[in-house]
Amino acid sequence: MTVAQHSHVLLAGPNRFVITNVILANFSLSDANSASGPYVWPYGLLYPGVQVGLNVPRRLYLRDTQILLNSSSLQQYRRFFEQRGTLVYSDNATFLHIPYWEDHQTHLHNVALLLQPQGVSLAEMAGNKSVGQLNFVVAADQSTLVPLLQYLAGSNTSLPFMVYLSANVTLRAREAVGLPLNRPVYFVGSAWEYTSIDFGMEVNQLALLGTWSYATFSWVVFENLAPGDATSSKFAELYDMTMGYNVWPLLYPRNQNRVTLHNVTLVMSSLEVEEYLFRATLFQVKPAGFHEQLESINANYQEWEVTWLPAVDSVEAFVMVSTAMNVLTCNYTSAPLVWPRLPWPAWANDTQGSGPSAPKHTFTHVDVTGLTPVGTEAGSPGNSEVVLLTTNMSFGEMLPKDAAVEMQLVQHIRQSYAAAPDRQLYLMGIVAPPVVFDTGYAKDFIQLPPEVPPGYLTIVDVVLQHLAQGPKAPEPGASILTPDVWTMLLWGIPRPTHSIVLLSNVTMWVPAGEFSYIRSFVRASESASNFSIDLQAGQTMRFSNVQDLRAEGLYIQHFAGPGIEADSLQLRMEPGWSQDGPPKGFWATGAPAGDSGGNMSDVTVVVLSVCLVTAVVAGVLGLLAIVLWRRRTAEARATAAAALHAGKPGDVPLSSDTGSGHDGSNVSGPQGPSDLLGSSKRLAASGQAQELALSCEPVHDSSDSYHLQNRAQLTAELARNQFGVNRLMAKEGSDHSDATNGGGRAAQQQQMQGLGRASAASDACLQRLHSAITSMSQDVLSRRLQVSNSNNIANGVSGTVAAQTLGRPSPIGDAGQQQQQQHLTNAEGAVHSGSDALA
């Protein structure tokens, strides 16, 4: 057995054996066909079992390791990983590379299983030389990489070629100019330490123009990526040549997917990182107002998921699939890692702004450290400014002691218009983690100059909470018709009457009363609702394609109101609104201060509604009790009459059971069977069965701030003796009736059939009445439950309501807000789920 090393590290923990950056040869691997493992254990170096003295099983960690083995073992493991759907790189004959795999005994990270050639020493393989018909090189460096590619990568074949990079390399023009890669080539670096490729601010070094050309890069760093040049423009399609993240050192048609980046770090300028994050956000959010950018983005990209990593000021791309390349778990940063950053090439200024989708905006990055104007590479101000927000901010009563970032943003917005009044301003949050603006009920958390034109400010992909009302909301005359009471009109952004603030993919947390009033217009039976709410002075709020998402709130495709227009707006209910300070107006818990206009708070309206429904239910239950008492009285009288007339010829035999009155005493009556049969005959002849009229009509009460379900309005018209007739005739059928003559028997049977049908109708009506009353009782219970839960939520939340959009988590890094949001989401979902189930 042999261990060949180019940087040998062998570490052993209490029960963990970690082998890193070695070549293992002449070891027998554990059997891949074993049902229980272990797998990929080099027997002779290490065996599974219980660690002595610890009584815990041993675990093997292989990282940046190459294992040489025979063809049989290689094929066994090839089938082993294929059956488990593991991502591997292989030519199916000489190499099998496993980026990552683990089970309870083995962890593999960047591990290669390679065919060991016959008659070739390990020193020759480790000495950066290619051997025979093998399709891999175990260690390529600066001196051997380009010759190896020239010798082996230019072959026109579909067989992949694997290159393991053992050191940092430079691929500048003097090393490689249009070097053809006419077969699939894998470039794999180290997962343990940086393996960098310096492209030297040059382009078109590697040409992927053959039939089988494809390049995969794994665990490497790209540095000094330059913009495309005139040659690149011939292959650029709709891709931006000014951006280095499009990897212009690789020359190939960008409408053909010929590149995969896996665990690659791309180092570029701050503008390019900002642009990458901006475009990924556009793809995920698709806000209104970016038609030109979205046109090229939608044409090029099929999948794109990223997140901002504030700790390292970089963008992590989980996945990106485009017409040009695939990206999996790659990092985009502006911090050089191995090579110093070189200046822009001479042709860069000639291509700035000339690409098919070149940026036409200026960037300002906002993070926890403050505002950083990024600008454009060409120095042009562009026709818009994008303030890219990557951190949460608080204003007003929630303003933190150290509010430097918030104050910088407010000042920057003022100065931005003065510097370029013709330019549009976009405040854009990133998708992950979500950006929350806690306005703290501020009346001016964003201040716009009085002369700004309509549509100057657009807010994109931001969560807004603790929104303020207008100045007239606390006044005694304020009502539901007063625009100032509606927090969704963004009174925290004072602006001229002619100005309009645009929103796209924004989530607003609004007071419970405001939310519930809007929700009452949404018809649950339809997929989407369109409606308007008229306000004073001829103003109107228009809602288009509104969907009730239950626990996720309301989704509004388009909203237009005084001074505001929004697309893809989401409303969430904020039960704790105004409870972390003095009442803020109309929607505050309890009646607004000085309210003499008859306005009621949300909770008051709900309580009154519950009382009203309770009274209706009590009345219906009382009516049912009276009906049942009359039925039992009639049955008792009929039974007594039957007992008196028992045995008389020609009479209908009756049961001998006695009934009980409502006071518990036995009840009997003089009613004769002939009269009873006469009334029942008339009932059967007329076809009038017992009637129970039930009508289910929707109730709309504009003062009820909670969504009112359709309630049953019940009316019951019950004949006094009719229940007794039906129950009596349903029970008849004794042997005494069999003793009557044939003609009388037939007549009685016909009468009995008619009365039996009437009895069945009566039973069905009673069942409907019982179901309707039960439904109404449950409705009352759900209303009480909703009020109780809302109060519990309001009392349990300390005033900061974490925000959550469609598919969005709570802000990362704020544990307190995460706990509050979880409590809020669970409670709100329980209220709606319970209400839906009861209704």
Q: What is the pLDDT of residues 112-134, one digit of tens each?
A: 999 988 777 776 676 555 556 78
Annotate 113-123 with b (16+ C-beta within 10 A) or e (fewer).
Answer: bbbbeeeeebe
Q: Which two tokens stand for residue 626?
A: 């009276």
For residue 659, the model assigns a pLDDT of 41
Structure confidence at residue 112 (pLDDT):
97
pLDDT for the residue 398: 81
CA atoms lying within 13 Å on the CB side of residue 458: 20
Cα 111 to Cα 18, 21, 28, 148, distances in angstroms: 13, 9, 16, 22
CB of 95 within 8 A of CB of 137? no
Amino acid at 757: R
Tokens representing 91? 């030519």
Checking phi first, is residue 545 left (phi over 0); if not, alpha (psi -120 to 50) or beta?
Answer: left
Query: Which ranges of the chain have pLDDT less than 50?
Result: 1, 5-7, 9, 353-358, 377-381, 589-605, 644, 646-748, 751, 758, 762, 769, 773-774, 777, 779-839
Please tell me the distance from the alpha carbon of residue 365 to that of residue 435, in angstroms, as a whole number: 13
The alpha carbon of residue 165 and the mean position of all alpha carbons in its chain are separated, in whole angstroms, by 40
pTM: 0.67
Question: Are 343 and 201 contacting, i.e. CB atoms less than 8 angstroms apart?
Answer: yes
Query: How many residues appear in the chain?
Result: 839
Residue with tokens 């818009």: 384
**pLDDT for position 740:** 41
Tokens (6 digits) for 64? 């940046």
Burial (CB count within 10 angstroms: exposed 0-12, middle 13-18, buried 19+), residue 340: exposed
State how far the alpha carbon of 454 is from the alpha carbons of 326, 411, 448, 459, 559, in Å.
Answer: 41, 20, 11, 13, 16
